[in-house]
Amino acid sequence: MMRAGLQALLSHWTRNPLQLFTLLAGLALATALWSGVQAINAEARASYDAAAQTLGEARYAQLRRADGSPIPQQTYIDLRRAGWLVSPVLEGRAQIGAVDLRIAGIDPLTAPPGVGTIALTNGEIGDFLTGAGQLFATPDTIARIGETPDLTFLPTDGVAPDLAITDIGIAQSLLNAEGEITRLVVIPAQPLGRPPLEQIAPDLVLTAPQNDTDMAQLTDSFHLNLTAFGLLSFAVGIFIVNGAIGLAFEQRRQMFRTLRATGLPLRNLIGLLAAELILFALVAGTIGMALGYLIAAALLPDVAATLRGLYGADIAGTLTFRGGWFVSGLVIALGGTALASIGAMSKLARLPILAAGQGRAWAMVSSARLRIQAIVSVALLLAAAGIAAFGSGLIAGFSLLGALLIGGALALPVILDLLLSVGERIAKSVTAQWFWADTRQQLPGLSLALMALLLAMAANIGVSTMVSSFRLTFIGFLDQRLASEIYVSTETAEGGRLLEEFATEHADAVLPILSAETDLAGLPGTVFGARDHATYRDNWTFLSSTATPWEAVHAGTGILLNEQTARKRELSVGDPLTIGEATFPITGIYGDYGNPTGQAILSEETFRDLFPEAEATRFGLRTSDPEALQETLIYDFGLDASAIIDQAGIKAISLDVFERTFSVTTALNILTLAVAGFAILMSLLTLAGMRLPQLAPVWAQGLTRRALGRYELIRALLLAALTTLVAIPLGIVLAWALLAIVNVEAFGWKLPMYLFPLLYLRLTLLACLAAALAALWPARKLARTPAAHLLKVFSNER
């Protein structure tokens, strides 16, 4: 019986291959988009983890020289012999083979757990420690380095690209830095009776451990965008699957009745259907994973470039296949199918054994059902508003996104029905009236596809608005932060003093960048000392400030604070802030995008009073002729070209990075719209066969098949256009939620939102194009329907 039942169920698909294709393709596409985005995220995260873990020393306190110069090895020994448990790290770059390799030298014997995580078997450690020339790097890096006769490279995962970890002795010789140490990692558990640092190494400064790497915080914002995209794409796909499954159930109602009537128990029937769906989910999931892998592989180089440029985060541009990712993709496909089939299954479970066997699904949806949908939608949208007003935390942020999307999607058929009925009322000609009424009548059948289109559009508008807002804000931020034409840095404080002296003669203004680590309202942060110059007054914009924020700062009676710290400590303009022993009123709060830590700005004089030991090694130089100044610095002062950064160059790089970000965003835009277009196509094709009985009378009354086809096309365009009318505000609200709620909850800073009407217009056109392309084939098919088929409708009715 089970076998016969299964045969009967599956025979439906052999008779309706198109429906089978819709189901599989919808699920596969949904899985592909989701898994593609996840693959990119996973790859990038794995790379940062590798980078962060490379030395993994960020979570330990560290010692450095205040002026940034190398620490003599003897200082390390002096500290150890005094009871300071510190471990040396030497870092630098060297050209090894074909690669400008970053080299990190560690001492595995004194390194704390987690620093330089490389697995050494006991055979290798001897070679690692005794100058045999062992370096650990990723297989990819090793391949690019090529042959190196004196060095042995060992492949390992968990190291950043273009980085090699080796023993400090080897690093010293490779970097030509005998007896030098870049910094010392301080082991958390220190012995009793340790003398103070000043007594052993007064020129070293202790920096506190960081809980999170800066990079992780920064790049998380980028990944959040991608994840939102992936999730929305998946929702679009689920709508398609839901439609296909619903249709398959409705069409098989007669079959279910027959199977039940011939003795197949309900439990077994549901079991068979579930098995069938699991099989489909696995097949479609696997196809989807393959597609997702292709998508990820195609986009990853751009993502890698974006992240490298934006945050300096090195990720490899190649994709590695990760087992966990594949399994999670299949789970998502199964879960999505389960989600999409809940409705149909529960309907089947409640089906009376001898229920009327006729298809009912694509009949006019009762106004009662529309009303329920409207109520649920309004409730969800109200909930979203409530969360926005009173909720806090990242979970609330994502709940808000969910409520908005589902509420918006459920509202769509209601709104469209309303708009169409208005059209129907104002229509003059009979044909027009028929057109509106017929469109309205088709709405239930198309509404799932249209919801998918709505979600795709809203997601695209939301994410594009977010990315574009980010770009505008960031460029403005760069203008503010990189106001000087040239930035130079020196290795030592002595060099800094000489440079300042030299530059004062040749540049219009020299702006030293003085900074010190300090405590800001109980949070670790950096305080800067700014020279009194128009550059700051002219270029800096504040989120909130007194009338003359800089004047107060330069008078020593004010301090500027970054937004993150102000938000975390609920500080506003006028509140006092204590730095060391001195307290200043906050005169301005400024946006400080992408920086996870606290930051404050004082005047140069006040700063030097508070931090007399800090010396500038970086300077901003104002000049009307940047090129000439650069040449003077290189040839007359002898500064290394790598120590000079020209501001125009940075901006060009940043812009280039944004272009790449856009190429990722655009590619995802087109993909999601294609999925939505596909949903429309499938719905129209499904409807086409069932609509013949409705169209036959219209044809009989004189509308040509050509005209009918044309109306099909116009209808699709009209519905798409109306959908975008709903999608644009929904997308904008979505963008607002991402920027003002989710971003603040996740990163502590709010991105200002800008609107981009041209972008929305382009997306609208793209959506209409997708709908038109989707309708083209069904319309053509209708225009070419043999008259005999239409006639048959009448004879069948008899």
Partner 1 sequence: MNVKALAVAICLAAPATGQGFAGLGTEVDGFSVPQPNPTFDFPADHGAHPDYRIEWWYITANLDGADGVEYGLQWTLFRSALAPEDGTGWETPQLWMGHAAITTPTDHFVAERLGRGGVGQAGVTADPFDAWIDDWSLSGPDFDTLRMTAAGADFAYEVDLTATGPLVFQGDRGFSVKSSEGQASYYYSQPFFEVAGTLTLPEGEVAVTGSAWLDREWSSQPLGGDQTGWDWFSLSFDTGERMMGFLLHEGEDTSYTSATWIEPDGSATPYPNGAFAAEPLTITDVGGRDVPTQWQVRLPDRGVDVTVTAMNPQAWMETSVPYWEGPVHIEGSHTGRGYLEMTGYE
Residues within the interface to partner 1 (CB under 8 A) = 73-74, 77, 80-83, 85, 107-111, 113, 115-126, 129-131, 167-170, 172, 189-194
In terms of CB distance, is 109 or 788 closer to partner 1? 109
Query: Using CA atoms, how far apart are residues 621 and 485, in angstroms rounded to an integer?
Result: 6
- Rounded to a whole number of angstroms, the minimum distance from the CB of residue 71 to partner 1 is 14
In terms of CB distance, is 179 or 576 closer to partner 1? 179
- Rounded to a whole number of angstroms, the minimum distance from the CB of residue 119 to partner 1 is 5
- Rounded to a whole number of angstroms, the minimum distance from the CB of residue 174 to partner 1 is 12
In terms of CB distance, is 189 or 354 closer to partner 1? 189
> Are residues 26 and 449 in contact, defined by beta-carbon separation less than 8 angstroms?
no
In terms of CB distance, is 90 or 644 closer to partner 1? 90
- Rounded to a whole number of angstroms, the minimum distance from the CB of residue 190 to partner 1 is 7
Q: What angle do CA 387, 237, 268 make, to 5 degrees?
A: 105
In terms of CB distance, is 192 or 368 closer to partner 1? 192
Rounded to a whole number, what is the distance in angstroms from the first to the last CA of the chain? 37
In terms of CB distance, is 123 or 786 closer to partner 1? 123
Cα separation values, 47 from 58, 213, 314, Å: 16, 13, 7
Quote the tokens at residue 94. 């060297």
DSSP for 729-775, written as a single string: HHHHHHHHIIIIIIHHHHHS--PPP---HHHHHHHHHHHHHHHHHHH
- Rounded to a whole number of angstroms, the minimum distance from the CB of residue 165 to partner 1 is 10
620-659 in b/e form (b: 16+ CB < 10 A) is bbbbeebeebbebbeeeeebeeebbbbbeeeeeebeebbe
- Rounded to a whole number of angstroms, the minimum distance from the CB of residue 64 to partner 1 is 20
- Rounded to a whole number of angstroms, the minimum distance from the CB of residue 666 to partner 1 is 45
In terms of CB distance, is 110 or 152 closer to partner 1? 110
- Rounded to a whole number of angstroms, the minimum distance from the CB of residue 167 to partner 1 is 6
> Are residues 485 and 651 in contact, defined by beta-carbon separation less than 8 angstroms?
no
Q: 674: Cβ–Cβ under 8 A, 6 or more apart, which residues?
A: 770
Residue 484 is classified by DSSP as S
Q: 212: Cβ–Cβ under 8 A, 6 or more apart, which residues?
A: 596
In terms of CB distance, is 76 or 711 closer to partner 1? 76
In terms of CB distance, is 124 or 519 closer to partner 1? 124
- Rounded to a whole number of angstroms, the minimum distance from the CB of residue 151 to partner 1 is 14
Query: Using CA atoms, how far apart are residues 178 and 215, in angstroms rounded to an integer?
Result: 31
Q: What angle do CA 775, 781, 784 make, to 5 degrees?
A: 140
> Are residues 392 and 745 in contact, defined by beta-carbon separation less than 8 angstroms?
yes
Neighbouring C-alpha atoms within 13 Å toward the C-beta of 654: 17
What is the number of H-type helices and E-type strands within the chain?
25, 20
Q: Residue 781, exposed/middle/buried by CB under 10 A (0-12, 13-18, 19+)? A: middle
- Rounded to a whole number of angstroms, the minimum distance from the CB of residue 198 to partner 1 is 17
In terms of CB distance, is 165 or 383 closer to partner 1? 165
> Are residues 391 and 397 in contact, defined by beta-carbon separation less than 8 angstroms?
yes
- Rounded to a whole number of angstroms, the minimum distance from the CB of residue 320 to partner 1 is 23
In terms of CB distance, is 173 or 328 closer to partner 1? 173
Task: Please provide residue 757's backbone torsions phi and psi, each rounded to the nearest 5 degrees.
Answer: -55, -40
